Structure 1
Amino acid sequence: MSLSAQFAKRMSRMKASEIRELLKLLDQPGMLSFAGGIPDPALFPAEAFAEAFQDALSPGRQARSLQYSVSEGYLPLREWIADHMATLGVTCGPEQVLITSGSQQALDYLGKLFLSPNDTALVGWPTYLGAIAAFNAYEPRFDQLRIGDNQPPVSYAIAAEVAGGRVKFAYLSPDFANPTGETLTQAERLAVLDVAEALNCAVIEDAAYQALRYEGEPVAPILALEQARKGGDLEACRTIYCGTFSKTLSPGLRVGWVVAASPVIAQLVLMKQAADLHSATLNQIATHQVAAALYESHTATLRAVYGRRRDAMLRALEQHMPAGVSWVRPEGGMFVWLTLPTGQDGAALLQRALAQEQVAFVPGQAFFADGSGANTLRLSFSNSSETQIAEGVARLGRILSEPQ
């Protein structure tokens, strides 16, 4: 018996993640992978977590750690997040914070909250493919969020109406974006707010990499800029901030958060109750203890190590890339974005790179909602040593230098 005929129509829009599939290659002998945007496990604060879990499971605390909890999340952790957000220029209380199972869950919930079939999500071209996957389940259309080209907001609204829906939100990662590594200026962030105000839509600010800046001056989060515009009133803001500990403390514990106005948080809490009741209590308690003890010192270490790896990749690209290949110089994050000469195909290049040189990366086409961008690719430097980066880029350069 097959139940395939009974699947919902939305399943036809859901595709396997190219990145998750490529991660299976990491265990192959001799493989150098720039594919997954994953932290280096050697840098995890493992001893601090071991102590935190042991403490959370000690007599007198184990009942709370192993018990059901409130859907909003562990209160001391939400209080810590509220204090952390204040350092970024956002004033909020723990009641305006929701703990999620990583920021990926937040994106899924926000897609569910805002999108009806044929509604429009404004996204970057390219954008994080996990966001495309999360939103796709709710059957939207995607339109390119253009910043700085003077496109009037009414054009987005007209296109959405023709498609049978409305513009519901603009999604973007303003700091060291996945996949491009680009960062929006303050003027560009304010321009996004102007578009959202004109369209009366939400702004979803994905801040997964915000803590990983290696050079340049920090730019205030979009939520901080909007809150300043609104006289400090978070309840008047349309920006929804999605944060995570996955890129700083541990991706495996799946602890992220949302900061937003109370009506948004209230609806997300209902979704949390229906989906998984609450994020793992034990993980939240341990994350709070580790974050409170060493978040600032640990992220400083990450910035030093990852910053050197970024520099190593940029040096290697300068040395080994043939003419016609260009790339973004990121100020932080985990990625360098390459553009190949017109007519070259990143997916075909990957197959050659795997077979001939045992080097992996992510073809860029997966990050474009319309399937364009075939001549682009993403390299991640976070989980490779400087020596591996130099060797892997040299291998990639050899492939790219071959006659087409």
Structure 2
Amino acid sequence: MSLQEIFATRATRMKASEIRELLKLLDQPDIISFAGGIPDPDLFPKQIFQEAFNAALSGPLATHGLQYSSSEGHKPLRVWIAGQMQKIGIPATPDNILITSGSQQALDYLGKLFLSPGDTVLVGWPTYLGALGAFNAYEPRYDKLDPLSNRSAADYTAEAEAAGGKAKFAYLSVDFANPTGATVSRAARERVIDLADEMDIAVIEDAAYQSLRFDGEVIPPILALEAARKGGDIEACRTIYCGSFSKTLSPGLRVGWVCAAMPVINQLVLMKQAADLHSATLNQIAIADVAEHHFDSHVEVIRAAYRGRRDAMLNALEEHMPDGVSWTKPEGGMFIWVTLPETLDGANLLAESLKTERVAFVPGHAFFADGSGRNTLRLSYATSDEAKIAEGIKRLGNLITRALAA
């Protein structure tokens, strides 16, 4: 007997993450890795968190931190997050905030909330691999979201219905997106709101990297733009904002949040109660303490570090990449997206790179819902110093030059 024979059909949609597998390479000291989209652990505010946990376990909140708690999340943390939302134009109250175990859990819950098998999700081409992984379990189809194209709301709707389902939401990573590093323009954000209203669908705004802007013009979040249109009433908005402390304070504590209208929050709370009751309270208490007293100053530290590494990688790409290779120039975040001549395959290039150059990166096809994009790759500059970046890009440039000449 094999239990696999009675797995639900959704299990066939669950695939191993290529990125999670590549993270194992970080333990090999001779590898220069541009693969993992993870923060630099040397930049974690370790001493500050030690003090926060000590305070949480020795003060009046100690019993609360070790006990079961509310599914909505630690109230002081939700108050702080609501204040941050208001600063960026989102008229949220603490009741509009649900604490999740990282924004990845939020994406899973939202897939569960909206998707029936055969429904359509509108995504970028490419898009965040973790979002595809979260949504895949609910058996959707994907359509390419291109807000500034000539496709109308009726076009999107007709194709979804022809495929046997309904369009349910658009998903966007809006600032310095994983994987491309690109930022969605204000015009495109406004058009997404138009499409969502015309199609009667939700918008999931993934803002994991929003705090990591190095330069360029700040663009209001989609939820802020929509709220401004709708009289400052978040309850009239269809955009669901997903935030996270993973790229700013700590990914290991697994604290993220959803900001949305109350009907969405209320339903997600029920899912939270059924799934894990609540996110770890002690972690939330520590995050609330560190965020309240140190968030802005710490973000300035990591911005400066990542800005220098981005510049080092852009300079090295300019110096070492052969003709026919292009790349994005992000204004923040952790990623640069490289497009190779169509004759090259990113997965084959990675295999050769690991053997001969000892440089790791992520082949780009994993970020496309249809598996296309074979001639693309994602580079992360977050965890390598500037000298390693220069050396790694030099090696990679030499490899690509040889591959093109073969």
Q: Which TM bucket (shorter chain)?
A: over 0.9
Superposition deviation, residue 2 in structure 1: 2.5
**Separation in 1 of the partners of 2:242 and 2:337?**
23
Cα deviation 1:109-154 (Å, max 9, x = unaligned): 0000000000000000000000001000000000000121121111
**Separation in 1 of the partners of 2:259 and 2:61?**
28
**Runs of 4+ residues over 4 Å off in structure 1:** none
Task: Output the TM-score relative to the length of structure 2.
Answer: 0.99
Identity over aligned pairs, percent: 66
Match of 2:12 in 1: 12
Amino acid at match of 1:364: G
Match of 2:147 in 1: 147
Superposition deviation, residue 91 in structure 1: 1.1
Matched, 1:359 2:332: no
Match of 1:274 in 2: 274
Matched, 1:312 2:312: yes
Match of 2:169 in 1: 169
Match of 1:374 in 2: 374
Unpaired segments of 5 or more residues in structure 1?
none
Superposition deviation, residue 282 in structure 1: 0.2
Superposition deviation, residue 186 in structure 1: 1.1
Superposition deviation, residue 60 in structure 1: 3.5
Of the structure 1 ranges 107-116 and 54-63, higher mean CA displacement relative to structure 2 is found in 54-63
Superposition deviation, residue 184 in structure 1: 1.3
Amino acid at match of 2:78: R
Match of 2:388 in 1: 388
SS where residue 143 of structure 1 aligns?
A: strand
Pairs aligned (count)? 404
Superposition deviation, residue 61 in structure 1: 2.7
Superposition deviation, residue 29 in structure 1: 2.5
Of the structure 1 ranges 181-190 and 100-109, higher mean CA displacement relative to structure 2 is found in 181-190
**Separation in 1 of the partners of 2:397 and 2:137?**
38
Cα deviation 1:92-117 (Å, max 9, x = unaligned): 10000000000000000000000000
Superposition deviation, residue 28 in structure 1: 1.0
Match of 1:181 in 2: 181
SS where residue 58 of structure 2 aligns?
A: coil
Cα deviation 1:265-309 (Å, max 9, x = unaligned): 000000000000000000000000000011011111111110010
Match of 1:262 in 2: 262
**Separation in 2 of the partners of 1:370 and 1:149?**
20
**Separation in 2 of the partners of 1:59 and 1:347?**
52
Task: Output the TM-score relative to the length of structure 1.
Answer: 0.99
Match of 2:56 in 1: 56
**Separation in 1 of the partners of 2:29 and 2:89?**
46
Superposition deviation, residue 59 in structure 1: 5.0
Amino acid at match of 1:148: L
Match of 1:245 in 2: 245
SS where residue 203 of structure 2 aligns?
A: strand
Amino acid at match of 2:71: S
Amino acid at match of 1:400: I
Amino acid at match of 1:278: H
Superposition deviation, residue 62 in structure 1: 1.6
Cα deviation 1:199-235 (Å, max 9, x = unaligned): 0000000000000001111100000000000000000
SS where residue 117 of structure 2 aligns?
A: coil
Cα deviation 1:37-84 (Å, max 9, x = unaligned): 100111101111000000111053321110000000000000000001
**Separation in 1 of the partners of 2:269 and 2:215?**
37
SS where residue 57 of structure 1 aligns?
A: helix
Match of 1:342 in 2: 342
Cα deviation 1:308-350 (Å, max 9, x = unaligned): 1000000000011011000000011100000000121000000
Match of 1:216 in 2: 216
**Separation in 2 of the partners of 1:234 and 1:77?**
20
Amino acid at match of 1:190: E
Match of 1:194 in 2: 194
Match of 1:113 in 2: 113
Amino acid at match of 2:139: E
**Separation in 1 of the partners of 2:329 and 2:194?**
27
Superposition deviation, residue 362 in structure 1: 0.2
**Separation in 2 of the partners of 1:164 and 1:187?**
31
Closer, same or farther in 2 for the Cα pair 1:152/1:40, shift >3 Å?
Answer: same
**Separation in 2 of the partners of 1:240 and 1:171?**
10
**Separation in 1 of the partners of 2:331 and 2:66?**
41
Amino acid at match of 2:5: A
**Separation in 1 of the partners of 2:275 and 2:147?**
35
SS where residue 232 of structure 2 aligns?
A: coil
